[in-house]
Amino acid sequence: MEVVNAIGRRKAAVARVFVSEGAGKITINKRDLANYFPSTILQFIVKQPLAKLGVEEQYDIKINLDGGGFKGQSEAARLAIARALIKINAEDKPALRAEGFVTRDPRAVERKKPGQPKARKRFQFSKR
């Protein structure tokens, strides 16, 4: 099997994923997964598509992460891994879609409007 690549985005985070056959090693920005995401919850989020299909030990994954915070980065990586697994085996798509791993989450920060302190917040109204 050759290297399969895919891209995932969430909020301001972009994940580029390269999947190849291997022993289940996940490398993010040239660092180990446990080193990059010390939180076990974020590690779990990244591994969810692999766990769903039961292929954690079959693929080596190299991820380039850029932008956003750690939560957005982990979810971007999850989407990219799911897309790469679908490229490898198209029959896996219904199982991943049922868990919601194939859908790009469109929610992002609303822009700040002029004449306001934030996107929705208004300056205090003064009657006099």
**Per-chain mean pLDDT for the chain:** 94
What would the two tokens of residue 85 be?
């697994």
pLDDT digits (tens, 9 = 90+) for 79-100: 999 999 999 999 999 999 999 9
Over range 4-25, report the average pLDDT: 94
- Within 8 A by CB and 6+ apart from 77, the residues are 8, 15, 17, 28, 45, 46, 63, 65
In the chain the first and final C-alpha atoms are separated, in Å, by 73
User: Would you state the pLDDT for residue 2?
Assistant: 85
25-36 mean pLDDT: 94
User: What per-residue confidence (pLDDT) applies to 95?
Assistant: 93
Is the pLDDT reported for residue 1 higher than 90? no
Distance CA 104, CA 70 (A): 17
Q: How does pLDDT run across 41-80, given as a tens digit for each residue?
A: 999 999 999 999 999 899 999 999 999 999 999 999 999 9
Provide the sign of the torsion angle of the four alpha carbons 63, 66, 70, 76, taken in this order: negative
Which pLDDT does position 45 carry in this prediction?
A: 95
Q: Do residues 65 and 77 touch, judged by C-beta distance below 8 A?
A: yes
